[in-house]
Amino acid sequence: MANGLVYINTAVDPETGEIKQKNVQRKVYFDEQNGYLFFSQKNGARTFDGIDLPDTLTDFDIAKLYRLSRRIYRNSNLLTYRTGNNIKPMQIMQIARLLRMSERCAVIFVNKMIRMRILAKAVIDIGSEKQVQYYMNPIYFFNGKWLSLNLYLLFKVDLDGVLPEWVRRKFNDVELGKNN
């Protein structure tokens, strides 16, 4: 339930014995389907307060990451591109084109960002094919409101350092199939 949790608050007036009930709505911060409500605003890619990109990055690298951040898909942080009416995961060829570099240089850049855990590479089985997908670390750039379980698992090492303990427990319970 992404919009809110409604519960009934019941109170008994001690003088009259009258029972008063009131519906109270609370914001839901964790939803098993959507994940953790990471940001409550909606627009554009954001950064996590207090977390800076590694100092070893050059200004040129940061500019390339900014360009890539404009192509992350909402709530998933998957790097995507549009072709006609379809949205597809970016491959090295699309990354190279977006960053205005050769495919060889794009491979070097992407591998460097993966080693620094700014990007993650996932190989997904789709039918009989394998598809490579690239994701941006949400502590550096995040587009959406909900941090999904999949995104959490991709960047668990980094996210465990910034997420509250109860959120980490919830994600681990969902991963293990516990319904608490």
Residues (pLDDT < 50) of the chain are 1-7, 41-42, 180
Q: In angstroms, rounded to a whole number, what is the distance separating the alpha carbons of residues 147 and 2?
A: 12
Residue 29 pLDDT: 75
Q: Helix, strand, coil: what percent of the chain each, to 5?
A: 30, 30, 40
Please tell me the total count of domains within the chain: 1
CATH of the domain at 150: 1.10.10.10
What is the reported pLDDT for 166? 87
Query: What is the spatial distance between Cα 39 and Cα 112, in angstroms, rounded to a whole number?
Result: 28
pLDDT at 27 (0 to 100): 61
pLDDT digits (tens, 9 = 90+) for 4-35: 444 455 666 677 767 776 665 556 577 776 77
Q: Domain of residue 51: give its range.
A: 5-176
β partners of residue 55: none
The pLDDT assigned to 5 comes to 46
Q: What is the rounded CA–CA span in Å between residue 161 and residue 28?
A: 22
Which of these, 79, 76, 74, lies nearest to 134 by C-alpha position?
79
Confidence at residue 8, expressed as pLDDT on a 0 to 100 scale: 55
Answer whether 84's CB lies under 8 Å from 94's CB.
Answer: no
